[in-house]
Structure 1
Amino acid sequence: MQNALWAVLVLVIGILVLRAITRERREYGRFKRMRRTAARQRTYRRWLVESLVLLGGLSLVVLLAAGGFVQPVLDDVRSAPVIAPALDALAGGLGIGIAVGLVVVLAGLIAVTVVVGRSATEIPALGDVAALIPRNRAELWYGAGLSLNAGVVEELLFRLALPALLFAVLGNGPLAFALASVLFGLLHLYQGAAGMAGATVLGLVMSALYVATGSILVPMALHAVIDLRSLVLLPMVVTKAHRIRA
């Protein structure tokens, strides 16, 4: 059983590393040189399907192999000396305050994006993602699709499935979530060092939310909102992409 789990882990990591090093960097390099929206939309469409099939498929394979460790890895992290007292505080009612605070922060982020974006001359971004930003109304729909897809399949793989598999072979919950976040950052290799670092930090934040709430739906929703802000709201506010016909 243990050997089989190790084999699944090596296979998944190998696929993710290969995707990050070859397909991600090479395809994004070509995408940055595209000027015709028809070509860009075809690439968006292919990325959307490939992400859904590949990451969704990997999630299914990993959960079939290590689904029994989903709850044990959560229990292991929650019992860690540093984390357990914080979770006790959450159980005392602070959790509701944090949930409300999260909603307020997201609403504030959206409001600031709208207000500041109206006077911005270019879309702010962390890492090499400028070419990825939709440029017209038709591309915005793909931006929305990619955002929602990422929120679901990436969280399913990197916050639910992979930590369970890593815990099954390593026996350490905090380490499992940390390594999964590093792999999540690696998937953003095409964005450069800043993009990878930002994605890794985001992965750790999503992991903390998942551990604190016990619901994968929370990081899924937050991830989707963050991506929607970048790929839909910002281009609408700053470049008025929704007014530009393809």
Structure 2
Amino acid sequence: MRIGVVTFPGSLDDRDAQRAVRLAGAEPVALWHGDEDIADVDAIVLPGGFSYGDYLRAGAISRFAPVMEKVVDAARGGLPVLGICNGFQILCESHLLPGSMIKNAHRSFICRDQPLRVESTRTAWTTEFTEGEIIRVPLKNQDGQYVADARTLEELEGEGRVVFRYTAGATHGPEGFESNPNGSRSDIAGITNAYGNVVGLMPHPEHAVEAGFGPDEPGAGTRTGTDGLRMFTSVLRSMVG
């Protein structure tokens, strides 16, 4: 399987995403923002970073990159697409996902290991999780507050399209751990489109793919530090079966 990873000017985590793809057992394919085709890949990752310096709005300029025309068409045709952090912002700007991302409520950059509750396993990127499971992946952003109008939020909740939600978790962090780090509406950390092939989330699964290097979670056994890897193995499984 071939998974494309798009690099925009200002992308920071494209190499990390490529490594995650490789560790999951697929072939990473480097795509450039100026490309006019997507090299016949089986899925696409839009990585984190600060594309075009976050000028105007995070992801607002990247949305018009030549490669995005092909990404949007492919996503609407059913191709699995994952947007991580800045990639999530780009998906919203491209109208592949509803809502928008604004500055964190506390107006500060945040970087920490973040507990998430898995709300949906009915997407191409989450089939190897369990609904209600608490996972832990790194979070780092300054424009991470997800906002949408009441109608959109109601649709996301009613259609089961919230994929990940910020949570303190029963076994994560000290007592009083702030569950919502950026003020996102309804504690939303990640969502999907109506068909389940496009997923965007603010935390970084590509930074939790190797035991001993991702977030440490005592008692997690072989999954210690590797919760994020299952997003990439999930999409491989969905493409095979």
TM-score under structure 1 normalisation?
0.23
Query: Radius of gyration: which is bigger?
Result: 1
Q: Which has the higher contact order (CA 8 A, sep 6+)?
A: 1
Structure with higher strand content: 2
Structure with higher helix content: 1
TM-score under structure 2 normalisation?
0.24
